[in-house]
Structure 1
Amino acid sequence: MTAAHTPTAPSAERLQAFVSQGLAPVEVQLAAMAEAMVSGHPDGLQAVATALRNATADFSRCLDVPGAAQAVAACSPLQARVRQAGAALAQHRTQMARRMAIVDRAVASLLPDVAAKKAVTYGAGGAMRSRFG
């Protein structure tokens, strides 16, 4: 095998470009998630959440490429973008948890019997009668 045919490791610049291309869909979906949370449409929110989950999974696979994490560490602007995406993801997760708590409280106030039945661990809850009277 000659030197011209020997596979070489990708350069840091190529790895940074590769990671940047993987990060771009995450950034797009994070922006879409912010818009969906403001609009409050559950179907749109679910679709965006699924797309965001897929984009983050794809990005995670980008970082699994040998040398990709080191390429990110060596590039301050790319490192800042990754940190910003992580912070936005954490913020969206917190907002979703708050929204879920509000919805759970609203459901419990509108349907108290259903909420009370969920709280029971063993049996139907309430007074129980003996077979003997």
Structure 2
Amino acid sequence: GECDAKKKFTGKSFEIRPTGIAHLLLYLPNTFKGEHYTWKKVTMVITNLILGSPAINHYGDMEITNHRTGERCVLTFKQRGWRGKEAKKDKGSVFDQKGNLAWELAGKWTTQLIARR
């Protein structure tokens, strides 16, 4: 895949905005078929670089596409708020090849992601 990043340092935090598209090819067991996935990475911010304990946060929308089936997932990483209540939370939706909602996703990117119909 393609990989580059736009970087921004403010003195208190370091922000990295990846550009380009990531690719993954998975071969299905007992077949010669492969599933080709692509996605764009979300923004990463590292805070408390100088004072305190450094913390990593991701935010933005990530769209993941399965090019063999036409299914796609839109996953939203929430930006950490002042109190950190929304830190590391994400939610999203999975759509079938016709664009119909198939699954709803919710969880934290550091621990678990739960899918519901």
TM-score range, shorter chain: under 0.3
* Structure showing the higher helix proportion among its residues: 1
TM (norm. structure 1) is 0.21
* Structure showing the higher strand proportion among its residues: 2
TM (norm. structure 2) is 0.22
